[in-house]
Amino acid sequence: MCNMGDFDYLIIGNSAGTVGCIEGLRSVDKNSTVALVAEEDCHIYSRALIPYYLGGQITRDKMYYRPLDFYDRARVCVFQGHRAVKIDSAVRVVELDNGSRLGYGKLLIATGGKPVFPPIPGLDKQNVFSFHSMPDLMGIEKELAGARSAVVLGGGVIGLMAAEALHKRGIKVHVLELAERLLAPVVDETTSHLVEGALQKAGLALYLNNTIDQVNGTERVESVTLKDGRNIPCDLLIVGVGVAPRVELAEGTGIEVNRGILVDKKMQTSVPGIFACGDCASIYNFVTGVEQNMPLWPNAYLGGRIAGFNMAGIERAFIQGTTMNAMHFFDVNIVNAGINVIGANQGNGLEVIQKHDSDGQTYRKFVLSENGQIKGFILVGQIARAGIFLNLMRRKIDVRAFQLELFKNDFGYADLPETLRWKLLQDDVILGVV
C-alpha cells in the first residue's frame, strides 16, 4: 500500500504512455520515487486488445499489457481507482477526487482520450457502448449472449475492428459511415475500396454517406432510423467515431493546449517540469514537422518513454513519431505511415507512385517529396518487411535511384544501392574481409 506524500515522479494515467515512461525512467534511475494515479480500478491492460478479446481470440488475462507484478518490480506506487482532478503547478501538487494531495518533482500527464459521442439523442441508453475501456468491454460482453444484430456507428479503424469482432461472435453487423468511404482520413480511396470488399465478402452490411437520424427504444435501443429513412433493428449499438484528447487537467495551469496538450520534442509542456504524452497530447510529427494529436499506440509508448528519459535528466528527442497503423480486416493486412492521402493543400511538390496488382489484392503506394524522400506509404495484402520503408522514411533517404524496387513484395536491403546499403547496415555487416 502506498502512502500519500511527495514523489520524485508522478504519472497521471495507466496505459501505453505510462508504461513507456516507467520503463524509460527505471532504465536510468532505479532509486527515485515514482507514483501513478489510475482512474480505472484494474491492472494495466491494452485497449488495443479489446477487439481481440471480444472477437474471441484471446482470454481476459491476455489483455494485461504487462505482468501483474510489473509495478511492484518497478517500485511504483499505484493509486488505483482514483481520478486526478486538479494540478497546482505553483506548488507542484496534484489533487485527487477523494481530496488527497500528491506532491511531485516532475509530472507526466498521460490521461489519454475519451470517446466522442455525436450529438444524437438517445445515445445514453443501456445497450449503447463505446469501444474504449474495460467497462465498455464488460458491458458489450454481457449483451453478446442475447444479441443478434448490432449497429456500429463509425467506419474508422475502431469502428471496423468492433464490427469484425462482433461479426465473429455470430452477430449481424451494420456499419454506418458518414463519409462516402470507410477509413476516410486514414487511408486512400483504393485501400478503402479493398477494405469495403473484404467486409462485404464476410457479410457485413455497410451504409456509406449515412448516419443515425433517430435512436428508437425506451431504456434500450431497439432500432435506429438512418438519415436516408431506413430502419435497422438492433440489440447493441457501438459508437466508434473517434477519441478526443482529455486535456481538462491542463485548464488553469498555464499549460498550452492545441487540441491536445502541446509538448516539445522532449515531451515537456509549456510549464517546466510537466510532461505529457499519448492520446491527450499534441506531439511532433516528423513527416509534417508540426505538433498534432496522433492517438496511436507506438506514439504513446515512445512518447512516454522519451518523457521518462527527459524527466530523469537524460536528453532524448521524440522525432520518430508520425501517423502509422498496422491494421487487418478479416484476411486483409494493411500498414500505412505518414501521408498517404493527398489533400488539396498537401499536393505541393508531392509525387505519388503506386502499383495495384492484377489480382486486385496487393496494393502499394508511396508518397515522395520533391527531393525523393518517402513522406508516406501504404501497403495492402503484402506487408512483409514494411519497417524498412519506415526506416527509409525516418532517415529521409532519397529513394529516386531505386524507386521501382519499392514495389517488390520481397524488397530488402539487397535492393538498395551499394553505398547506401552499407551505410545503413554499417554496424551489422563486416566488409573488407577478402
Partner 1 sequence: MGRIKAKPEVCMGCHLCEVWCAVAHSKSKHIIKAFLYEDDKPLPRLVVEEKLPLTFALQCRHCAEPDCVTACISGALWKDPESGRVVHDPNQCVGCYSCVLTCPYGNVFINPRKREIIKCDLCAGLDTLYCVSHCPNEALVYEDC
* Footprint of partner 1 (CB under 8 A): 20, 27, 46, 48-49, 52, 57-58, 62, 64-66, 297-298, 301-302, 305, 320, 324-326, 328, 333, 335, 337, 383-388, 390-391, 394, 412-415, 425, 427-434
| Selection from 343, 248, 256, 337 nearest residue 296 by Cα | 337
Q: Across 81-157, where does the E strand assignment appear?
A: 84-88, 93-96, 101-109, 113-115, 128-129, 149-153
| Look-up of cell digits 492545441 | 258
- Residues 6+ positions from 82 with CB-CB distance below 8 Å: 37, 38, 39, 96, 97, 98, 100
Whole-number Å distance between alpha carbons of 239 and 151? 9
**Nearer residue to partner 1 within complex by CB, 223 or 320:** 320
Amino acid at residue number 170: G
The number of residues making up the chain comes to: 434
Amino acid at 31: N
Asked whether 171 and 236 are in contact (CB, 8 A), the reply is: yes
C-beta of residue 302 within 8 angstroms of C-beta of residue 284: no
3 state DSSP class of 327: strand
Q: Report the residue number, 223 or 325, with the smaller CB distance to partner 1.
A: 325
- Taking the complex as a whole, the smallest distance from the CB of residue 252 to partner 1 amounts, in Å, to 33
Q: How far is the CB of 298 from partner 1 (least distance, A)?
A: 4
CB of 405 to partner 1, least distance (A): 9
User: Beta strand pairing status for 101-109 and 274-276?
Assistant: parallel
Determine the 3-state secondary structure of 211 from DSSP.
coil
